[in-house]
A and B are shown apart, each in its own frame.
Chain A
C-alpha cells in the first residue's frame, strides 16, 4: 500500500495570501488541516447510477430551503376563520387557519405558489429518488458487507420520507388532505385493543378535533426532518468511511477505488448537479400545477371528491386497502377488523422488516461473509434480480389497484372485475415474473460466456467452399474480456456432512438443511465464468476456425455487389485464389 505523499510532511508556514491567511486562522482554531488533508482529494468512482442517491440528497436540501420559506406564512391552526383573501370563489367561506394561510401563500404572497409547488414536487422527487437509488443498490449488491448498516439506514430514511410526505400533504387542511387523515383515523382505530384510545389521543378527542394540524406540523418541521438530517449525515459518513463501491474493470479491484478527486472534479460535478436538480424542480414548480388545494375547498367530514387519490408513494398502501376482502372477526364482544388491520398495519410493517432484513437473509443463504466493494451486474445474481423484479411487479400491481376507480373510468372497465383480478394477480403474477427474470438473467450469463469464449458476433457472414454460411466471431478486447470475468464464482453450500450432523441438535441440523436447500435454489442454476482450461480450448478452436476462414477473407460474394447500392465500376469479379 503506497503512502499518501501529501500527508507525510508537516504544513509549511502559509504563504502570505488571503486564502492562506483564512486557512491558517481556521486551522489554528479547528485543526482543520488534519481532517481535510485526505478528504479534499478523496476519490469517487464515476457511473451514472451513482447519481440517483444524489438526487435524493439534493431534493432534501431543496425541501429544507423551500420549507423554511413556507413556514414564514403558514399558520398550523385549526381555528375557524372566514376567508377574505384574493381567491374569489372561496371568499366568505368558513375554514381553518391552516387552509386560509395556504390560500394566502398561494394567492397573496409573491413566489408563494412557486415555493409551495416546488416543495411538493421536491418531496415526490425525494421519495422517488430514494426508491430508485435503493433499487440500484439492491440490484448491484452494494448492500453487502460491510454496507449492511447503511442499507438499514437507507430503509429507515425511505420510511421516514414517506411519513414526512404524508404529514406534509395533510397540513393544508383541504378536502383531500382531510380525507387522507380520515382514512388514517380508520387505520388507527383498527388497531387491536388500543385502537379507539390511539385515535382519541392522536386527534385530541373525536376525529377531526382541533389539534391534529399543529401536532402534524411539529412532526413535519421538527421531529421527522431532524431524524432525516441525522440519518442522512450518518449515511454520508458511512459512505465516506467505506469509500464508494465501483464497477469491476481493468485496474479496478476489491482493494482500490479508481475515479476522480473530490476537489475539484466532484465538487464541480456534484455541486453543479445540485443546481441542476434545483433548477429542474423550479421549472416543475413554475410549469406544472401540483396539489391545487384551492379547487378542493376546506375540509368537511361529510364531503369527498370522487377519484380521490393520495400522493403516489401511498399508492401501494391504498391498493392493498382497496383489494382486501371485507373480513372482520367478532369474538367475546370485540371486533377485529382484518380488512383494515392487515393491509394498513401488518403489511407495511412486514414489508419494511423484509427490506431491512434482506442483506442478512441473503448472507445467511450464501454464507458469504467477505467484504465486497466491486459491484455485481444484475444478471450475475439471478435470484436476487428476479426477486426484485417480482417485488417491482407486486408494487406495480398494488399501485394500479390503488387507482382501480381511475382505471375503470379511463379504460371503460368494470371496477369489480379489476378488483377481483387484482386479488388473484398479486399472488400469481409476481412468481411468474420471478421465473421469467431468473431465466432471462441466466441466458444473459450464457451470452457473456459465449462472447468470452467465442468472441462477439461481428455481423460478417462468410460462405465457405461447400456453400455453407457462418457468421464471423471476433474476439473481445482484452479490457472488456477481463471486465466480464471479474466476478466471483458462486459456491453452493452443501450443508454439514453426515458425521458432523450426528453431533448437532435437531433444530440446528434442520436449519442447516434449510440453508443448504436455499443455497441450492439461490445458486445452482447460475452460469459460472469460464475456467482457464475452457479459455485455452476456445482459443485453440478459434485458431482452427481462423485457418478455415482465412481463404475466404476479404471477398464479397459473387454477384452480390450488383444490388444497385454499390459502385461496381472497376470491380474485379474473378476469384483471386
Chain B
C-alpha cells in the first residue's frame, strides 16, 4: 500500500522521518491453520449458546418456584426470587454474548479490510448546484422583492409564541403571598408530629428536642380542615422543632425575650438554604445541623447561621401557654420560612 502524502504546500515542514511500512502481513490464527482448533472453537461457541438456553429455562423455573412478597431478605438480604431470576437471566444473556464474540474472534475471517475516506464536505459542483437551487427557490418565492410578506410572516411567527406561553398559564396558581404565611396562628397548639399529643412544658427535659406540628393537622373530631396533599404543602412550611435549653444559656434579642416558655423555644424545621427538614440536634452546643447540606444554626442564639451554605437564620415561632398549660403559638411566624426567593423582603434578625 502506498502512503498518501497530504502536506502539499508546506515547504517549511521537515520531511517525514520514516516512511509508512504499509499494513502488516496477516498472521494466521491457530483456528485458521489447525482444523482441530477450529472444531474446538466451534464446540465452545455451541456450548455457550446451549448453556444460554439452559439458563433461560432456569429463569422460567425460578419465576414459578420462588415466592416473592413479604420476604425480601432471604439469600443474602436480596430475596431468593430476585437472586435467581437475575442470575439466570444474566448468565443466559452473557452466554450468548460471550459465544458470539468467541465466534467472531476465532472462526470469522480476521482479514483486515481497507476502506477509503471521503472529505466530509460535498464536492464543489454539488455545493454550487445546491446554492443555485436555493437561490432559485428564494427568487421564485419573491421573498427578497416583497419585504412586506417576509416581515409580516416573521411578525406572525413571533406573536404565535404568545399563545404557546399563555396556554401554559394554568400550570399552577400565582404565588401571591402564600410563601409568607403558614397555618400557625395565635393560640394553635404545638403537638407531637407522630400522634398529635399536645405538649406541656414539664413533659420536656433540658436538652431535649421534639419534632412538632400545628394541631390543625390532627383534627380531634369532625371533618378535618385539611386533607391529602394540602396537608403535605402546609407541613412543608409549618413543621417545627421544640427544644428545651437552660434559660441562662439562651441569648434572645430584645424582641424575642418572651418568645419562649421556661427555656423552651420553637423554630421552623425547614432549612433556609433549600428547604430540607433540619433535625440533627447537638444538645451540648445547642447547634442544629441540616442533614442535606450541613448548614448549622445556633438555637441558643436566635437560630443564627454559624456554618454552611444557608444565608439566613432559622425563623422562630413565638410560644406561650394556653389556659390549660399547653404550649401554643403567639402568632404565625413573623417572617417567611424556608428557602429564599426573589420577592422575599429583607428580614434582619430582630
Enumerate chain A interface residues (CB-CB to B < 8 A).
1-2, 41-43, 78-80, 86-88, 106-114, 117-118, 145-146, 179, 182-183, 185-187, 189-197, 199-211, 241-243, 250-261, 264-265, 268-269, 271-287, 289, 294, 299-308, 318, 321-328, 330, 333-337, 339-340, 343-344, 371, 373, 404-405, 415-416, 419, 478-479, 481-482, 485-486, 489, 529-535
> B316 contacts which chain A residues (CB < 8 A)?
none
B216 in the interface (beta carbon within 8 A): no
Going nearest first, the 6 A-B pairs with the smallest beta carbon separation are A286-B86, A186-B274, A272-B100, A251-B23, A275-B97, A279-B93
Which among B92, B112, B280 is the interface contact of A260 at CB below 8 angstroms? B112
- Nearest B residue to A180 via CB reads B292
State whether A485 touches B16 (Cβ < 8 A).
yes
State whether B342 touches A478 (Cβ < 8 A).
no
Give me 29 A-to-B residue pairs in the complex whose CB atoms sit less than 8 angstroms apart, sorted by A's number: A107-B68, A111-B85, A113-B82, A114-B86, A183-B276, A185-B339, A189-B339, A190-B341, A191-B342, A192-B342, A204-B171, A209-B233, A254-B6, A268-B100, A269-B101, A275-B93, A275-B96, A283-B90, A286-B78, A286-B84, A287-B86, A289-B77, A303-B279, A322-B293, A325-B309, A334-B343, A335-B346, A340-B309, A534-B17
State whether B68 touches A108 (Cβ < 8 A).
yes
Which among A79, A273, A276, A286 is the interface contact of B89 at CB below 8 angstroms? A286
Q: Does more than half of chain B's interface fall in helix, strand or loop, or is it mixed?
A: loop
* Interface-located stretch among B103-111, B154-162, B218-226, B321-329: B103-111
State whether A256 touches B171 (Cβ < 8 A).
no
Given the known interface contacts A276-B93, A326-B308, A334-B344, the answer about A243 and B276 at a Cβ–Cβ threshold of 8 Å is: no
Known: A300-B235, A343-B309. 9 other contacts (CB 8 A): A195-B342, A204-B172, A209-B172, A268-B103, A275-B100, A282-B93, A328-B312, A335-B345, A531-B14
Which among B16, B113, B338 is the interface contact of A261 at CB below 8 angstroms? B113
State whether B117 touches A273 (Cβ < 8 A).
no
A420 shortest CB reach to chain B, Å? 9
The residue among B72, B115, B277 with the most chain A CB atoms within 10 A of its own CB is B115
A45 shortest CB reach to chain B, Å? 9
Given the known interface contacts A195-B342, A333-B345, the answer about A339 and B309 at a Cβ–Cβ threshold of 8 Å is: yes
State whether B274 touches A340 (Cβ < 8 A).
yes
CA of A108 to CA of B67, assembled, Å = 10
B288 shortest CB reach to chain A, Å? 13
State whether A196 touches B114 (Cβ < 8 A).
no
B163 in the interface (beta carbon within 8 A): no
Given the known interface contacts A190-B341, A242-B120, A307-B291, the answer about A107 and B14 at a Cβ–Cβ threshold of 8 Å is: no
B194 shortest CB reach to chain A, Å? 11
> B63 contacts which chain A residues (CB < 8 A)?
110-111
A480 shortest CB reach to chain B, Å? 10
> B236 contacts which chain A residues (CB < 8 A)?
182, 206-208, 301-302
Which among B92, B99, B340 is the interface contact of A337 at CB below 8 angstroms? B340
- Nearest B residue to A402 via CB reads B293
**Total interface residues in chain B, CB < 8 Å:** 107
B98 in the interface (beta carbon within 8 A): yes
A413 shortest CB reach to chain B, Å? 13
- Nearest B residue to A278 via CB reads B93
Which residues of B286-340 are within 8 A (CB) of A?
Answer: 291-295, 305, 307-312, 338-340
State whether A328 touches B174 (Cβ < 8 A).
no
> A260 contacts which chain B residues (CB < 8 A)?
110, 112-113
A36 shortest CB reach to chain B, Å? 15
Given the known interface contacts A251-B24, A302-B269, the answer about A88 and B70 at a Cβ–Cβ threshold of 8 Å is: yes
- Nearest A residue to B100 via CB reads A272
State whether B6 touches A255 (Cβ < 8 A).
yes
CA of A496 to CA of B228, assembled, Å = 71
State whether A256 touches B14 (Cβ < 8 A).
no
State whether A276 touches B98 (Cβ < 8 A).
yes
State whether B172 touches A205 (Cβ < 8 A).
yes
State whether A305 touches B291 (Cβ < 8 A).
yes
State whether A405 touches B82 (Cβ < 8 A).
no
State whether B229 touches A210 (Cβ < 8 A).
yes
CA of A108 to CA of B99, assembled, Å = 35
Interface string of B270-287 (1 = CB under 8 A from A): 100111110110000000
State whether A43 touches B172 (Cβ < 8 A).
no
Given the known interface contacts A208-B233, A286-B89, the answer about A202 and B104 at a Cβ–Cβ threshold of 8 Å is: no
B91 in the interface (beta carbon within 8 A): yes
- Nearest B residue to A534 via CB reads B17
B87 in the interface (beta carbon within 8 A): yes
CA of A252 to CA of B114, assembled, Å = 9
State whether A404 touches B342 (Cβ < 8 A).
no
State whether A300 touches B20 (Cβ < 8 A).
no
- Nearest B residue to A191 via CB reads B342
State whether B343 touches A196 (Cβ < 8 A).
yes
> B15 contacts which chain A residues (CB < 8 A)?
531-532
Given the known interface contacts A43-B115, A210-B229, A321-B293, the answer about A279 and B110 at a Cβ–Cβ threshold of 8 Å is: no
State whether B114 touches A183 (Cβ < 8 A).
no
A538 shortest CB reach to chain B, Å? 10
CA of A199 to CA of B237, assembled, Å = 15
Interface string of B57-98 (1 = CB under 8 A from A): 000000100001110100001110111111101111111111
B27 in the interface (beta carbon within 8 A): no
State whether A253 touches B172 (Cβ < 8 A).
no
A536 shortest CB reach to chain B, Å? 9
State whether A258 touches B81 (Cβ < 8 A).
no
> A265 contacts which chain B residues (CB < 8 A)?
104, 108-110
Interface string of B19-30 (1 = CB under 8 A from A): 111111000000
Which among B17, B70, B120, B232 is the interface contact of A208 at CB below 8 angstroms? B232
- Nearest A residue to B175 via CB reads A196
Interface string of B158-196 (1 = CB under 8 A from A): 000000000010011111001100000000000001000
- Nearest A residue to B168 via CB reads A201
> A272 contacts which chain B residues (CB < 8 A)?
96-101, 103-104
B119 in the interface (beta carbon within 8 A): yes
The residue among B24, B92, B116, B309 with the most chain A CB atoms within 10 A of its own CB is B309
> A404 contacts which chain B residues (CB < 8 A)?
294
B265 in the interface (beta carbon within 8 A): no
Which among B17, B19, B104, B308 is the interface contact of A419 at CB below 8 angstroms? B308
> B33 contacts which chain A residues (CB < 8 A)?
none
State whether A255 touches B4 (Cβ < 8 A).
yes
CA of A156 to CA of B334, assembled, Å = 45
B32 shortest CB reach to chain A, Å? 14
- Nearest B residue to A184 via CB reads B274
CA of A207 to CA of B309, assembled, Å = 22
B3 in the interface (beta carbon within 8 A): yes
CA of A322 to CA of B340, assembled, Å = 16
B35 shortest CB reach to chain A, Å? 20
> A204 contacts which chain B residues (CB < 8 A)?
171-172
State whether A253 touches B3 (Cβ < 8 A).
yes
A275 shortest CB reach to chain B, Å? 3
> A533 contacts which chain B residues (CB < 8 A)?
14
> A289 contacts which chain B residues (CB < 8 A)?
77-78
B1 in the interface (beta carbon within 8 A): yes
> B117 contacts which chain A residues (CB < 8 A)?
243, 254-257, 373
Which among A306, A482, A486 is the interface contact of B291 at CB below 8 angstroms? A306
A308 shortest CB reach to chain B, Å? 6
State whether B310 touches A186 (Cβ < 8 A).
no
> B229 contacts which chain A residues (CB < 8 A)?
78, 80, 208-210
> B308 contacts which chain A residues (CB < 8 A)?
322, 326, 419
CA of A203 to CA of B273, assembled, Å = 19
Which among A197, A281, A294, A323 is the interface contact of B175 at CB below 8 angstroms? A197
- Nearest A residue to B340 via CB reads A337
A185 shortest CB reach to chain B, Å? 6
Given the known interface contacts A110-B63, A265-B104, the answer about A259 and B171 at a Cβ–Cβ threshold of 8 Å is: no
CA of A280 to CA of B108, assembled, Å = 25
State whether B342 touches A43 (Cβ < 8 A).
no
B239 in the interface (beta carbon within 8 A): yes
B53 in the interface (beta carbon within 8 A): no
